[in-house]
Amino acid sequence: MDKKLFIQAIVKYVSGLILVSILLFIPAGTLNYWNAWMFIGALCVPMLIVGIVLMIRNPELLRKRLNAKEKEAEQKSVILFGGLMFVIGFVVAGLDYRFQWLVLPEWLVIAATVVLLFAYLLYAEVLRENAYLSRTIEVQEGQKVIDSGLYGIVRHPMYVSTILLFLSMPLVLGSFFSFLVFLIYPVITVKRIRNEEEVLEKSLEGYSEYKKRVKYRLIPFIW
């Protein structure tokens, strides 16, 4: 086992958990925020399982997923806006719980939790299908076009999973106003995809032909 990678993964996992807890519970003014506990459990348990599996079976892919340093200048702004969205969205969710601005029905919270878990299963499947799946936009040495499985349906199944994941998060947290904040994410994703495809067409052999075979980026018959 790569001890350096293991420590890096643990530090990122724990620091992420602490940061999310601070952003939710302090604005909420209480630890008795059951939506937040449900969200943390629904997100962090699958994340831990996937991390352990990658550490054992594909540590190189885990290393790529932990690296968030973008080389593309346009993507740096996308990452910045995405980070601000998370901070604002979680704080708004905590404040919404504290002041009870708009209480969402319990059935909607449960349905959103199911969607979140499904989205993470989808995310795990994409990781299984594509060993080149870095968090940054780059073409790796020896990289090939993946066109089977989910990649035979849409060109960016990873972004499908993250859109479902991030739009379900604020609803699990019971906050409609936080959901409005997270609606920024699909807009950010469209910008990221367009830039990513420019890079891939220039640098990845066979990607232009792949675009002709699989016409849709995110949603079949729509876009």
Residue 72 has pLDDT above 60, yes or no: no
CATH 1.20.120.1630 fits 3-213, yes or no: yes
CA angle 196-84-125, nearest 5°? 50
Q: Using a CB cutoff of 8 Å and minimum separation of 24, what contacts does 200-204 make?
A: 200/139, 203/139, 204/139, 204/143, 204/145
User: Domain extents for the chain?
Assistant: 3-213
Listed in sequence order, the residues at least 6 apart from 78 whose beta carbon sits closer than 8 Å to its beta carbon are 70, 188, 191, 192, 195
CB distance 156 to 218 below 8 Å: yes
Is 31 a residue whose pLDDT tops 90? yes
102-139 confidence digits (pLDDT tens): 999 999 999 999 999 999 999 989 888 887 776 666 66
Q: Give Cα 71 distance to the centre of its chain.
A: 19
Query: What pLDDT is stored for residue 73 in this prediction?
Result: 61
